[in-house]
Structure 1
Amino acid sequence: MSSILRQHAEDLYAQELEEIRKQDDEKKPTNWKLSPQAVVLYLVGGKLKNGFEVSPKYIGSKRLMEIAVATLTTDRALLLYGLPGTAKSWVSEHLAAAISGDSTLIIQGTAGTGEEAVRYGWNYAKLLAEGPSEKALVETPVMRAMKDGKIARIEELTRIGADVQDTLITILSEKTLPVPELNTEIQAVKGFNIIATANNRDKGVNELSSALKRRFNTVILPVPDSIDEEIDIVRRRVESFEKVMELPAEKPALQEIRRIVTIFRELRSGVTLDGKTKIKIPTGTLSTAEAISVVNNGLAMAAYFGDGQIKAADLAAGILGAVVKDPVQDKIVWQEYLETVVKPRDEWKDVYRACRDLPSM
């Protein structure tokens, strides 16, 4: 067991990637570790010819993954777009791991991300001492990806200012990065491409220019279609978390995961699963990622402050924290849901009592 808290995808799934590589007899694009077909297999899971089981990294439409991978074989970059918590970063990381064997060439987009984080920067001590030189140049993940023919990742592209975003236009269209201070340029090696992510809750923050949009193919990652699909995602991610954190707790009963996912799906859609009762929608996203977090927190509560078996009382605070983002509006929404939906369900009496008895209620 590694002591690293969160291993990179290429390390955590090294055995799977190696087994797929050994069985992969399809044509590979230049500098790709796997063929496009093998990359999709790695993402959606399946069985190899030798019987080796590949675990699914993305549970959802295989066609979406095929479109994403096909995009990266062309000269267009890939934009993964959707609600928060729809596995955009997760898919981005695994795509880079399978294609380049390296998911670490990443830029985290924020309001403070400057042009030097995307193009290149300078070691100012060397710059003052020696003037502009290759030794004084500080390479960015994008520059290294261009040189090595790898995938660079840009997280939360729409959080980056529009003027900084547009520094990507020349890189994506001409596949070059001019360095005028040295009277030179970096030309991208085959295999280079960019995967960016953006969430639609940031729409209007820093819209992409039409020129930049044309350089991307957009794949929209939706919320899971069915409750069973979402339950499977939560179960797999929670089991992985429990293994890494070595929690002294039993695996959560599927019933508890189903109840959490049901609560989130009903509040997200504004109607109960049977379609009979309309519900007010809270201000938060209540994504699959947040459902995973609630169950993980419940596991920790059960492990260290309970008997090791997860119960409704271990989950209650996490549910409240996920739902009530606005202390006034969301609290009313949650109390109404608790009284009109949770309370009448006979098999949910423990959930109702645990949530009702929280100090903040």
Structure 2
Amino acid sequence: MVQQSSQVSLAAQTDYQHFGLRLDQVVADLFPEYSRSKLKEWILGGNVTVNGEVCKVPRQKMTGDESIAVEAEITQQVAHSAQDIELDIVFEDEHILIINKPADLVVHPGAGNRDGTLLNALLAHVPDIDKVPRAGIVHRLDKDTTGLMVVAKTIPAQTHLVEQLQSRVMSREYEALALGTMVAGGVVDAPIGRHQTKRTHMAVREQGKPAVTHYRVIEKFRAHTHLRLKLETGRTHQIRVHMAHIKHPLVGDPAYGGRWRLPKGASEEFADMLRSFRRQALHAAQLSLYHPESEEWLSWQAPLPEDMVELIEATRADTQQYGLDEL
């Protein structure tokens, strides 16, 4: 039995029909997919805001012109099966496991992905890990993002690692290929929250949670930029959202890449390479943290996967074709 948590982010606007109703009645009407008892629990727990202010009073009367938002977490016990799925293990001891995740591997089971996930693989590799919340998974990578992840094999190790993550001590660096030629590195400091209409997407929103991404240029091409990025926070889809926000979305990003476009004058070979790259060009290249038992500062690197190496080489060749060896 594994403890699984999911984040709930809801937002809605009241109207004239809600005038004079209590807050608990209004949220029940706005969010009927959740029980009244659960919604009341969230109100009392400070998970509901009215016009940006936390409201813990279920009987608070509404005027019919409020913005109501819910940010909460649901935890439940879910039974998952152990599956013999090969893992690329970079480091392992009795406390932690460092994994180089391939593309197409989902981290947690969910709708449409009930098995064949990293969690199923962990249950087979470390049978006792079912006693650790979330099977020891401390942080996630999107399904098609490759690279390094840390997994805790014990509850004390998980507690220690989560504290490092929350205090921003743990260091995570990524490589990516972005659209457009960027002049220099910089910082994106923009809050991220659930998209207002696309429930599986995130977006830069004023009422979102703080999110900071640092980036620097590794190599500039005529129509793309190879980047190194460092997370200061760890919001869902953070790098993808932030890069799209500054008009440099990641190559191949199906959610935030925007309208498909090819560089002017691209060869058919290069155009085919770009069209065939059907995932966000993002790789978790370096992970550094304090070992939860020894307190030693450790760091691991994972080389770019072959598909990204080939993509960057093709992008470099496209640039050289125009006599632009150095930008």
Q: TM-score range by the shorter chain?
A: under 0.3
- Give the number of the structure whose alpha-carbon radius of gyration is greater: 1
TM-score by length of 1: 0.23
TM-score by length of 2: 0.24
The structure whose residues are more often strand, as a share, is: 2
